[in-house]
Amino acid sequence: MIAIEFGNKAFNVPQSEQTVYIVFDTKTRYADRKEFAEKAIEKMTLGYPDWRDELLAKMDLQPAKEEDIQFFIYGAAERMNENVTLDLDLENAHDFEAVMPVEWNDASYIFECGEMYVFYNWNTTC
DSSP notation for 15-46: GG-EEEEEEEEEGGGSSSHHHHHHHHHHHHTT
Evaluate whether 18 touches 123 at the Cβ level (below 8 Å).
yes
Q: In terms of residue numbers, what domain contains 66?
A: 2-124
Look at the chain and report how many structural domains it folds into.
Answer: 1
Gap between the Cα atoms of 120 and 43, Å rounded: 12
Give the 3-state secondary structure of residue 74. helix
Of the candidate ranges 47-56, 57-66, 82-91, 101-110, the one whose mean pLDDT is the lowest: 82-91
User: Taking the model in full, what pTM does it have?
Assistant: 0.88
What pLDDT, in 10s, does the model give residues 25-69? 999 999 999 999 999 999 999 999 999 999 999 999 999 999 998
pLDDT band of residue 12 (cuts 50, 70, 90) is confident
